[in-house]
Amino acid sequence: MTSVKAGVKGSMMSQLVKKIKSSLQTIGNDFADAIYANKKKSIAFVIVGLLVVTGLTFFMLTMNTQIRAAQIDNLIYEELPTKKMVPFSYDQGDAIIHEKKAISVMFAKPNQPDTNQAMKIIKDKDKELNRNFYYYPLVYQTSEVANTYDLAPDEVTFIFFQNGKEKNRFVLSSIDNPEENFIPELNRLPMWNIKAQEN
């Protein structure tokens, strides 16, 4: 009895598969006939479809960049502690580092304890800063940035570049008594050649 039921079910399944296969073949044949009958219209539809897909893809990529830039501007750059801290435009940091002859850069994740400490000291001792430096917030593509500049993403790292090449660096956590020694160390960051001569 069970084998009879199984046989009936198997037969029904095979008939269903044949019907679906036949329907798909009919649809495919009808589609091919429609294309051959209206070649110009079909080519036009395909071209228009490709243009629409390409346009939507470009629009989505552009909007994604603009959304990220707006988020960084609103959430991070509005609260910088001094005008001497220059923000990078979103996705422009690497290009600026390579274009500038000499540039000091702070790499840090926003709203981390060390970052907040650095921001507070910079705000309190703004007048002691002797030059501008750039802020590279580690928000998007953090691991890629960390690999490119060989840094730990969870630390506040300051690097001086000359002609796109690193010449000097320090990490905030390596500074003894940051309240007193952090700003002088930041001011000395571009003086890598003096340090090299002293060693």
Per-residue model confidence (pLDDT) at position 198: 41
**CA separation (Å) from 33 to 24, 38, 173?**
14, 9, 72
Per-residue model confidence (pLDDT) at position 199: 38
pLDDT < 70: residue spans in the chain = 1-10, 31-32, 34-35, 38-46, 48-49, 55-56, 58-77, 192-199
Contact in structure between 107 and 151 (CB atoms under 8 Å):
yes
**CA separation (Å) from 112 to 62, 91, 180?**
29, 21, 21
Per-residue model confidence (pLDDT) at position 188: 93
Per-residue model confidence (pLDDT) at position 75: 55
Q: What would the pLDDT profile of 20-65 be if each residue is shown by its tens digit?
A: 888 878 877 776 676 677 666 666 666 766 777 776 676 565 555 5
Per-residue model confidence (pLDDT) at position 197: 40
